[in-house]
Structure 1
Amino acid sequence: MKKWLVVLLVLITLIISACSDEEGSPNDEEQNLEETIEGNSNKDEQEDEEKENDTSAEEERDSEEASGGFETQTEDQLDLTIGDTGRFDTDLTTFEITLDDAMIQQEVDEKVSEIGGYIILDITVKNTGETTQPVEDLLYGFEVTIALDMTGYQDYAESFASIDEMTGDLKPGEEVSGQYITEVYEAEEYYFRLRSGITASGSSNEVIWTIPDKEVR
């Protein structure tokens, strides 16, 4: 009888132990599941952060590429007049333009202006950069306007046989003199400048010549 009691106690002990192990298993599985979920969440957050950093870095690179990483080292010159020299520091090169003289005519080469008249500028262009540049590239984007908040008209020199058009390459240190011609409406003042869209983009410093009407008639 005692032997059966001992066997029964042993069986009861084993059953209780087994039940205890089974009750602990779900808790362990739940804990492991929570750790897995937390780990995946942290991993996702880390990946999102890395993507955000990569995106910011890419946007910064795009911005630098768009501007070319260029920053002009020459101050703006906004109050030049006839006889003054403007110094340009652009993302292409550096150069100077001197406005030697200016005049307005109603007719050039038997062509009568349909608006206020033709303004003819005598200018000298000097390549102060380190590479040879076509003078046409240096003059690209220049205009004459009657108001600084308005666009103007660009050079028509190639359309007039009597106008001394500037063409060809300028080596470093070389300069060439010639004429710039375009049409303008009648106004009290005229402005010769590099188009505002170019200077506003940071591709060049800003240089403006003011030409009073009374000095060109």
Structure 2
Amino acid sequence: MKRMVQLIFVILISISLIACSTKNGEEAKESDNNVVNEENNDGKDNEDADSKDNDGDSGKSSSEITTEDQLDLKLGDTGKFDTTLGTYEMTVESAELLEELDGKEAQFDYLILIDLKLKNTSDHDLDVDDIMTSLEVTDNLEGSVFFDASPSFDSVEVLTGTIQPGEEISGQFITEAYEADEYYFREDPGNVAAGGSNQVIWTIPADEAK
């Protein structure tokens, strides 16, 4: 009888030790999970902070472009651009169709030379080269287009460099052109479709560019 009591006592102690070991193991696992979760949260918080910082450096987003399209401008009119680069105004003062310039003949029918005035209406500097590379001429809104080639001509006043807030500069745009009744000077539709700018289009009748 005494041996049986001792056996039962040993069994109870063993069960108690196993229970304590299991409980301690679960507590340790839960503690590890808490540490991992805290580290993950810290990482996520840091990523969110970095994302906010990057957003602040990226300038305007496409959702902030609110200026309406201007699709029927004429020579002498000023168009207002609202882009991810910033805002600016451009005036197409005059246009001229040429068969050659600086000893270079038109590869197609004409060269079209456009006199421009550009004003920075943003609160920060703008890169004029980025502005000029987004402009194009076409005689068919659904057809082929031509981009600025002003750096290739010595006598053309190239629009380049940086323009400060409120500053206004003048220069020229020149490119190839086919013979047509009218021409369109506009923002690249691809840039517009991507949300980079509103659309601005000038219609230039051929008889006003001679």
CA distance in 2, matches of 1:104, 1:195: 21
Could you list the runs of 5+ residues in structure 1 that have no partner in the other structure? 1-64
TM-superposed deviation, 1:151 = 3.6
Counterpart among 196, 199, 207 of residue 203 in structure 1: 196
Give 1:139 deviation, angstroms: 1.7
Q: Does 1:92 align with 2:85?
A: yes
Match of 2:169 in 1: 176
Q: Which residue does 2:178 correspond to in 1?
A: 185
C-alpha spacing 1:151/1:93, structure 2 compared with 1 (3 Å): farther
Tell me how far 1:140 sits from its aligned partner.
Answer: 2.0
* TM-score, normalised via structure 2 length: 0.70
Contact in 2 for aligned 1:155/1:180 (Cα 8 Å): yes
Aligned twin of 1:148: 141
| Structure 1 residue 69, shift from structure 2 partner | 5.2
3-state SS in 2 of match to 1:161: coil
Counterpart position of 2:46: none
Q: 1:134 aligns with which of 116, 123, 127?
A: 127
Post-superposition Cα deviations, 1:193-217, rounded to whole Å, max 9, x if no partner, equal 0111111222111110000011112
**Aligned AA (1:95):** Y
1:71/1:202 contact within 8 Å kept: no
Partner of 2:16: none
1:122 to 107, 111, 115: 115
User: How many angstroms apart in 1 are the aligned matches of 2:61 and 2:116?
Assistant: 30
Q: Give per-residue Cα distances to partners, 1:22-56, cap 9 Å, x unaligned.
A: xxxxxxxxxxxxxxxxxxxxxxxxxxxxxxxxxxx
Partners of 2:183 and 2:169 lie apart in 1 by 24
2:191/2:197 contact within 8 Å kept: yes
Please list every run of 5 or more consecutive structure 2 residues that lacks an aligned counterpart in the other structure.
Answer: 1-54
In structure 2, how many angstroms separate the alpha carbons of the residues matched to 1:108 and 1:212?
21
Separation of aligned partners in 1, 2:143 and 2:193:
14
Residues 1:83 and 2:87 are matched in the alignment? no
Distance 1:201 1:71 in 2: 13
Judge conservation of contact 2:132–2:159 (CA < 8 Å) in 1: no
**Distance (Å, rounded) in 1 between the aligned partners of 2:144 and 2:192:** 13
Deviation at 1:150, TM superposition (A): 1.9
Q: Which one-letter code corresponds to 1:90 in the other structure?
A: T
Write the distance in 2 (CA, Å) between the matches of 1:69 and 1:216: 35
Structure-2 change in CA distance of 1:111 and 1:212 (3 Å): same
Aligned residues: 153
Question: Root-mean-square deviation (CA), in Å?
Answer: 1.7
Indicate which of 153, 161, 169 corresponds to 1:160.
153
In our comparison, the structure showing a higher alpha carbon Rg is 1
Cα deviation, residue 71, structure 1: 3.3
Contact kept in structure 1, 2:137 and 2:146, CA below 8 Å = yes
| Match in the other structure for 1:34 | none
Per-residue deviation, residues 69-105 of structure 1 (Å, max 9, x unmatched): 5331101100001000000001110001100000000
